[in-house]
Every structure is written in structure tokens, then in C-alpha cells.
Amino acid sequence: MPPVEWFIGPHQVVHGTNYVVPPTRRAARVVTVHDLTITRFPELCDHATLRFPALIRRAVAEGAWVHTPSAFVAAEVVDTFDIPSERVRAVHLGVPPQLALNGDPATLPLPFTLPSGTDRYVLAVGTVEPRKDYPALVEAFTSIATAVPDAALVLVGPDGWGAASLQEAIDASPVRHRIVRPGYLTAEEVVLTLRRAAVVAYPSVYEGFGFPPLQAMAAGVPVVATDVGAIPEISGDGARLVPGGDTDALAGALADLLAGGPEVEALIDRGHRRIRRYRWDDCAMGLLQLYRDARDDRPTRGGGG
């Protein structure tokens, strides 16, 4: 490909924000690697994303610096691609802002209908794909459904790929009538749905950061998540963590949080404190320092790209 300066003119740094950064003539390059599902769990990836490792290796070989959203992913990148650690920089992202709602969330109509006999729900938010392990969440909810007859399971997000396994799990559940899939919701609808949730579940197999738990903490909703990937680093003590792949532990945590009480209130309070660590201003300053370091390093590494 021709250098990107042909299209955008001279620049000091070019940042590819999603695994790929175009070649440059003189500008330093930074590439964001959000996670390494592509190497850790290739069976969970589609054909297009399986090309990313080769593109990352080529960019790094040509002098690119790497940005990751967590220290966990930074360490994985160093080990996987044999990159000097000083050229890989972890800069945490920020918590997505909570949009203002036009009215009291408790009285606004939800963008979906809860099943008859239920008035609260466990919520999961995200595109349906194998990495999210929603079938395990369906199984966990099914196992506690009798004990919480007033609760539903709501899975918000469009189908990505691998949605058939989720539908199979729902079809096999004896409480499938209490499982709701609204599909894609607008940003305002997601905020309302979050604020009305009883519990937010994040049962992923692997994550490099994790926005939904932080969004739930900001909304004052208790979170149960798996202790995989960067989730412990990002969520800390603001979420109830369970072993990845342990459906019984997930079910037990859901039941505990749905029961409420002082421990749940304490968890919500810790979540409020946790999200103070993730400010977009801090992210911007961290990236700015990364850009300066990449720019200042460029003359010592030659001009081609």
C-alpha cells in the first residue's frame, strides 16, 4: 500500500485504533491491540480477524508502537509478539458517559416487555458472539429460575456470529419464556435498561478491557463477572468475580446478588469508587505521552515505514 501521507499529508504520528495501522513515509506509528482473542482463542474468531496477527507483526517489525487498554493485554502482546516491553504501552480507557434520561428511570417504559409474572431482570449487554459465553449465562439463570420466580434474563445486543448456540441454549431451557432478546437498542435505551436492571452479568471467556461492568457500576447496579483476561484488573473489587467457565459459581453469584442485602449495597458502593479510576481525560493524557514517545523515537529508527 502507498504511505498514508499520500492521503492525509505530513503528520508526526499515525494511530491505527483497531489492530491495523497503515504504512507511513516519515510519521511514527501506533497500533491499538484491544485483546488477543485472535491468538489465544482463534476458534472464537471469524475469518477476517484471523488476519490481524500477521498485520500486527509486520507493523511492529517496521517500528510501530503498541497501545493496549490494559496491563494484562500489554503483557500478552510482549510475550506473543516478542516486542520490547518499553514499546508496548497500557493506557486504560474511560467509562462511557451516562446519558441523561428525560424522566425518572423507575417510571420510564422499558424498550421491551418483561415476561408475565416478572418485574426485575438479570441483564447482559453486548454483541452475541462465542467469546461472551451467553449459553453459560442461560444455563446459570435456568438453574436459579425457580428460586427467583419474579426475575427474567434480558440479553441486549445484535447477533454477531455464533448466535445459533445461544438460541439452542434458550430453546433447551425450561424457562425460555422468561428470557428476552430485544436485539439492538439505542444508547438512550441501553442506559435506561442498565439503570433498571437488578444485576448485570458479564460471563465472558476472555476480555481485554470490559465496558459493560463499568457502565453498570456507573448506573449503580451490582455486577457479576468472570475472573478471566483483564476483567479482574479493570473491575477490581467493584464486581463479584467467579471462575471462568464455572456455571455453578455463576448461578450462585446471581442468586446472591438477586437476594440483595448489605453485601450487595457494599458492592455497589465499591463499584462507584472503582469507576473513578477510568477518566477519558487520563486516557487522553496517556495517549498523548505515547504519541510523544513514538514521535521522539522515530529518528533513531530510520525513515521508511
Phi, psi of 66 (to 5 degrees): -120, 130
Residue 262 burial class via C-beta count within 10 angstroms: exposed 0-12, middle 13-18, buried 19 and up: exposed
Q: What is the pLDDT along the chain (305 residues), one digit of tens a residue?
A: 789 999 999 999 999 999 999 999 999 999 999 999 999 999 888 888 899 999 999 999 999 999 999 999 999 999 999 999 999 999 999 998 877 787 888 889 999 999 999 999 999 999 999 999 999 999 999 999 999 999 999 999 999 888 999 999 999 999 999 999 999 999 999 999 999 999 999 999 999 999 999 999 999 999 999 999 999 999 999 999 999 999 999 999 999 999 999 999 999 999 999 999 999 999 999 999 999 999 999 764 444 43
The answer to whether 205 and 41 are in contact (CB under 8 A) is yes
pTM, full prediction: 0.91
Q: Which three cell numbers stand for residue 241?
A: 468475580
The secondary structure of residue 65, as a DSSP letter, is E
Domains, the chain: 5-93+280-301 (3.40.50.2000), 120-277 (3.40.50.2000)
